[in-house]
């Protein structure tokens, strides 16, 4: 089966690309370790570091809301699709809503 993990190979160790600096990196590592994240803790650390860097960069509230909502929706989608790992699937994310009887909804259902 092809690897659809954005170019990474999950069996290989992931190299940290984001850093906050020595003490902060150690604190993030300890937090993730104390929390007990067993699967890919380095990726959890990267997500936390990315969030903290956004705080440091003083992103707009609108951007922070968008990123937060996107992450929540992606987490939920991963939870829903977890039982279907052996099947190919298509996920469509977006804010557009179509009426159930609209032509767009019918085409999407047929697809």
pLDDT, residue 1, reads 42
Helices 61-81 and 41-56: crossing angle in degrees, nearest 10, is: 160
Sign of CA dihedral 102, 105, 110, 111: positive
pLDDT, residue 17, reads 63
Residue 59 to residues 28, 53, 83, Cα–Cα distance (Å) = 21, 9, 36
Domain residue limits, the chain: 22-110
Which residue stretches of the chain have pLDDT < 50?
A: 1-3
pLDDT, residue 77, reads 87
Determine if the pTM surpasses 0.75.
no
């Amino acid at each position: 089966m092809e690897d659809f993990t954005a170019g990474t190979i999950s069996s290989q160790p992931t190299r940290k690309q984001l850093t906050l600096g020595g003490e902060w990196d150690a604190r993030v590592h300890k937090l993730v370790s104390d929390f007990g994240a067993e699967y890919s803790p380095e990726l959890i650390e990267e997500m936390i570091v990315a969030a903290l860097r956004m705080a440091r960069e003083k992103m707009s509230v609108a951007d922070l809301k968008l990123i937060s909502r996107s992450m929540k929706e992606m987490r939920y989608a991963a939870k829903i699709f977890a039982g279907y790992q052996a099947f190919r699937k298509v996920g469509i994310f977006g804010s557009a809503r179509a009426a159930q009887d609209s032509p767009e909804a019918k085409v999407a259902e047929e697809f």
